[in-house]
A and B are shown apart, each in its own frame.
Chain A
Amino acid sequence: MLDSKIPSGSLEQKWAEYKGHAKLVNPANKRKLEVIVVGTGLAGASAAASLGELGYQVKAYCFQDSPRRAHSIAAQGGINAAKNYQNDGDSVFRLFYDTVKGGDYRARESNVHRLAEVSVNIIDQCVAQGVPFARDYGGMLNNRSFGGTQVKRTFYAAGQTGQQLLIGAYQALERQVALGNVKMYTRHEMLELVIVDGKARGIICRNLVSGELEKHFGHAVLLCTGGYGNVFYLSTNAMGSNATAAWKAHKKGAFFGNPCFTQIHPTCIPVSGDHQSKLTLMSESLRNDGRIWVPKQKGDKRKANDIPEEERDYYLERRYPAFGNLVPRDVASRAAKERCDAGYGVGTTGQAVYLDFKYNLINKYGRAEANKHGIENPDTETLIRLGKEVVKEEYGNLFDMYEKITGENPYEVPMRIYPAVHYTMGGLWVDYELMTNVKGLYCLGEANFSDHGANRLGASALMQGLADGYFVIPYTIGNYLADDIATKPIPADHPAFVEAENAVAGRISTLMNIKGTQTVESFHKRLGKIMWEKCGMARNEQGLKEAITEIQQLKKEFWSDLKIPGAINEMNPELDKAGRVADFFELGELMCRDALNRKESCGGHFREESQTEEGEAKRDDANFSYVAAWEFKGESNWELHKEELIFEVAKPTQRSYK
């Protein structure tokens, strides 16, 4: 039943073969075809711009006031590509292999290989658009390294890579808006998918300024709506990031793939109190130059700088000598939790570890600069001063951000960090063409489940979003629309549209009419707490079962005691939030069910029952080498479909970063 449509042929030939045989739509016919793109982050903006350039009539939607504000803007560290500009042994194959291994062998080989192939085109495209990546003195592009790899393949723009890439895609998009090929709907939120004769044909959305519902037709619908980390309430995602578009599609038949695969990022600023509304990431790129440690002595209350070198436990370097501070995120996060749980954590709460830059500031950057300036036998102070300048150029914005939030200067004292929810590998199930199991409904970027398996490597989400939008969908959508050129636009009074709009209106008025006593925010916080404690960094059978019951109870309370102020036909941010949280309840339950079903540990999914003697995640390939694709069957009721994963090239082994 689940056909992933992987092309035949050898792994290296599949994409070329596919492109050579995919059906095409001629330019005159493209003009007659309308494509809906929901979401204009990296995936959506790049898709909308590219499809507009090809001549399709594109309608694009975002809930912010401009496409330039999508959550992608916040990405910090960088974007991977197999350019091998450093001559350090990188290749398409190595990027492919690192990604499959990093994902703990739970991703589809063919998709990942294609991703590695097109990665090189992305960098070319972005540079041509004017993305100001970091360069060296010869004018060539610079690279840094990220976790889970031993080469330098990450392109970056200080700690603002996502911003620069999104601005590039945004400008390409606005150019198409100016040319009349794309119509942009900002402050619009998709609230329902419209299906006609088994094919996705449009959406219902709410104009967030006027509160009105609108019906929009498209020959195909692309969901590029980002991840669902905000199920946990506290995450590094933007406040508005949500699962609603994907969830509505799921309830209309699209399968949800691997919902429990969540990435907990090891280096975030720790929670400071109950008022906390979100968490802030400190980019993984900092692990290039920062060393992570805790005191060797339990409950050591001395200030970080007062703890001498020999009394520090650089636990990642100790446990994983080959990769050291650059182990993948899931491994680094669990190692931090292990130390804190064992009583070695630092800071007022004991829920933090140190990320310390002093060593590299002096020994790496300071010395290099001193050499460059011909300073012989520099003293430590000089080295620190020189090193600081380089670190400032590389990470200045991150250091500033840390200081604004904590009031501490990370050039002087080590950062305190702790793991936080960051990214969701799960998402709508898609085939090789990025189409869901609903015909004509595509899903791109973080919203789909496709390329990262059970753990995403750093700097690979930006790569995937742009690969999907610039270089995959422009080919695969033609293969579908070529058979649709005779289809006339479906008018808004078609029963399917009317029914969908009525359903949305009904749901909104139900929410508004609860007229209870508790705020959306308070429910969201409670849901987040359940998810973090029972479906977070470590999971077990009993906890997951409890979580499911607790979520169901809380959901009941939500639907009977929620309080939303204001009215329907006006701007009403509380109502917007309520709709999103309502969907988080259902998705949260499915995440727990998926986690319960997957009795193995793999990547970011750590089942306490399944670990090696050293406490590492232990996969069970014999029983779980599949994608769990869940079909919605009614309230709290799902059916599991399995897509078997076949590894022809990257043979699964126990991941080792020692």
Chain B
Amino acid sequence: MEQYTMNLTLKVWRQKNGNEPGRFDTYPVKNISSEMSFLEMIDVLNEEIIREGKDPIAFDHDCREGICGMCSMYIDGRPHGPWEKNTVCQLHMRAYKDGDTIVIEPWRANAFPVIKDLMVDRSSFDRIIQAGGYISVNTGSPVDANAIPVQKDMADAAFAAAACIGCGACVAACKNSSAMLFLSAKVTHLGLLPQGHPERRSRALNMVAQMDKEGFGACTNTGACEAVCPKGISIENIARLNREYIMAGLVTE
């Protein structure tokens, strides 16, 4: 791949903390290599901002390998930027060309309040898991791992759902700020495995109740979530969740 350099204009959301209003600031960045990652481009800008004695742009990131789910930037109207099935930390600058202007915002959702600049608080996701996103098994009690065979296609489908990295892009993309894709991925992951069967009904009910409590919106099946999900979590999971939820409702009544 041919390497090239570019000059860009960034419009970045700056907000000191959750209580103060935010605004866009404009930054020119120069001599960016096409081989850099998007976050490395921000690193370069931040180094300059610091040298000028100003406050660098705060953003969440850690693994920079697309797996921890920490990075979260809304780039030109799309969570994680232009590439399909990708996180922003894996976005590379060859996606851009000289002279481009890029607009960068945080995830926007009531249930994800801004902490600073591009950083948001996603602890609502942890609380949804606390409501039932687990199998109730204590350390030390299990049977041999091969005692219960699991059909390969079920295991594969459970794995596909379990690949969710909890980034919240699905929420950021949704006009209702619904967390249904995230939640349904967990319900599917655990519900497809025999180990997760006993709790499937209560799991669906309790997790959905918690989601409502956190202020996420309702799902109207727009499919925006699936389109931006970096891990390709399928919207079919939402249909499955709805079925589980209805069944659970029937049983409890």
Q: Is A571 a contact of B115 with CB atoms below 8 Å?
A: yes
A275 touches B142 (CB 8 A): no
Contacting B145 at CB < 8 Å: which of A141, A401, A406, A571? A141
Across the interface, A470 reaches (CB within 8 A) one of B37, B126, B139, namely B139
* Known contacts A171-B135, A275-B33, A570-B17, A404 near B122 by CB under 8 Å: no
The residue among B56, B122, B126, B145 with the most chain A CB atoms within 10 A of its own CB is B145
**Nearest Cβ on chain B to A466's Cβ, whole angstroms:** 10
Measured between beta carbons, the chain B residues less than 8 angstroms from A46 are 139
Is A346 part of the contact surface with B, judged by Cβ < 8 Å? Answer: no
In the assembled complex, A640 has its CB within 8 A of some CB on chain B: no
Which listed residue, B55, B62, B116, B156, touches A565 by the CB 8 Å rule? Answer: B55
Contact A404 B86 (CB under 8 A): yes
With contact pairs A64-B62, A69-B68 given, residues A128 and B123 touching in the complex (Cβ less than 8 Å): no
Q: Name the residue in A71, A129, A521 with the highest tally of chain B Cβ atoms < 10 Å from its Cβ.
A: A129
Report whether A73 and B143 are in contact in the complex, using a CB–CB cutoff of 8 Å. Answer: no
Per-position binary interface string of chain A over residues 458-483, scored 1 when its CB falls under 8 Å from any chain B CB and 0 otherwise: 00000000000011001000000000
Q: Does A493 contact B (CB under 8 A)?
A: no
Query: Does B55 contact A124, Cβ atoms closer than 8 Å?
Result: no
Chain A residues, Cβ within 8 Å of B58: 571, 573
Given contacts A209-B115, A273-B35, contact A164 B56 (CB under 8 A): no
A571-B116 Cα distance, complex, nearest whole Å: 8
Q: Is A455's CB within 8 Å of the partner chain B?
A: no
Q: Is the CB of B51 within 8 A of A519?
A: yes
Partner of A238, one of B33, B68, B144: B68
Mark each residue of chain B from 111 to 152: 1 if its CB lies under 8 Å from any CB of chain A, else 0: 000011001011101100111011111111111111011111
Question: Of B16, B125, B142, B162, which one neighbours A128 at CB under 8 angstroms?
Answer: B142
Q: At the interface, yes or no: B96 with Cβ under 8 Å from chain A?
A: no
A223 interface residue (CB < 8 Å to B): no
Does A80 sit within 8 A of B, measured CB to CB? no
Cβ-defined partner of A137 (8 Å) among B123, B148, B152: B152
User: How distant is B92 from chain A, measured CB to nearest CB, in Å?
Assistant: 6
Q: B-facing mask of A370-406, CB < 8 A → 1, else 0?
A: 0000000000000000000000000000001100111
Contacting A140 at CB < 8 Å: which of B16, B55, B134, B149? B149
Task: Using known A-B contacts A65-B121, A129-B195, A238-B63, determine if residue A474 contacts B17 with beta carbons closer than 8 Å.
Answer: no
Q: Is the CB of A83 within 8 A of B70?
A: no
Find the A residue at minimum CB distance from B138. Answer: A53
In the complex, chain B residues whose CB is within 8 Å of the CB of A177: 126, 130
Q: Does B40 contact A (CB under 8 A)?
A: yes
Return the contact of A49 from the options B40, B86, B125, B139 (Cβ within 8 A). B139
Q: Interface residues of B toward A: which range?
A: 35 or more
Roughly how many angstroms separate A157 CA and B159 CA in the complex, as a whole number? Answer: 8
Which chain B residues border A401 with CB–CB below 8 Å?
65-66, 90
Binary B-proximity of A46-80 (CB < 8 A = 1, otherwise 0): 10011001000000000011111111011000000
Interchain CB contact under 8 A, A130 and B126: no
Interface of B is mostly: loop
CA distance A177 to B83 in the complex (A): 36
* 0 or 1 for each of B48-66: is its CB under 8 Å from A? (1 = yes): 0111011110101111111
Q: What is the bound-complex CA distance between A278 and B39, given in angstroms?
A: 11
Query: Among residues 19 to 59 in chain B, which have CB atoms less than 8 Å away from a CB atom of chain A?
Result: 33, 35-37, 39-40, 43-44, 47, 49-51, 53-56, 58
Task: Tell me the residues in window 173-193 of chain A with beta carbons closer than 8 Å to chain B beta carbons.
Answer: 174-175, 177-178, 184, 186
- Is A139 within 8 A of B55, CB to CB? no
CB neighbours of A407 from chain B (8 A): 1, 92, 94
Contacts of A170 in B (CB 8 A): 129
Q: Distance (Å) between the CB of B234 and the closest chain A CB?
A: 15
Q: Once the chains are docked, how many angstroms separate the CA of A423 from the CA of B50?
A: 31
Contact with B along A132-147 (1 / 0, CB 8 A): 1111111111000000
**A239 adjacent to B90 (CB under 8 Å):** no
Interface pair B67/A163, CB less than 8 Å apart: yes
Q: How far is the CA of A209 from the CA of B66 in the complex (A)?
A: 24
Q: Are B145 and A124 in contact (CB under 8 A)?
A: yes
Does A167 sit within 8 A of B, measured CB to CB? yes
Complex Cα gap A406–B122 (Å): 31
Please indicate the chain A residues that have their CB under 8 angstroms from the CB of B61 in the complex.
Answer: 239
Q: How far is A71 from B64 in the complex, measured between Cα atoms in Å?
A: 11
Residue of A nearest to B117 (CB): A571
Q: Which of B16, B60, B65, B189 neighbours the largest number of chain A CB atoms within 10 Å of its CB? A: B65
The smallest C-beta distance from B84 to any residue of chain A, in angstroms, reads 11
Check if A566 is an interface residue, CB within 8 A of chain B: yes
* Interfacial residues of chain B within 58-106, with CB under 8 A of chain A in the complex: 58, 60-70, 83, 85-86, 90-92, 94
Q: Which of A71, A139, A140, A174 contacts B63 (CB 8 A)?
A: A71
- The answer, yes or no, to whether B8 is at the interface (CB within 8 Å) is no
Give the CA-CA distance A163 to B55 in the complex, in Å. Answer: 34
**Docked CA distance A574–B92 (Å):** 24
Give me 14 A-to-B residue pairs in the complex whose CB atoms sit less than 8 angstroms apart, sorted by A's number: A68-B166, A73-B63, A124-B143, A130-B162, A133-B155, A139-B155, A141-B145, A163-B67, A174-B134, A177-B126, A178-B130, A275-B43, A470-B139, A522-B47
* Seed contacts A68-B126, A71-B68, A401-B90; 12 additional CB < 8 Å A-B pairs: A66-B166, A68-B166, A69-B70, A124-B142, A130-B196, A160-B67, A164-B159, A184-B126, A239-B63, A404-B86, A407-B94, A565-B49
Q: Which 10 A-B pairs have the closest CB atoms?
A: A139-B149, A407-B1, A128-B142, A171-B134, A132-B159, A178-B130, A127-B145, A50-B139, A69-B68, A124-B142
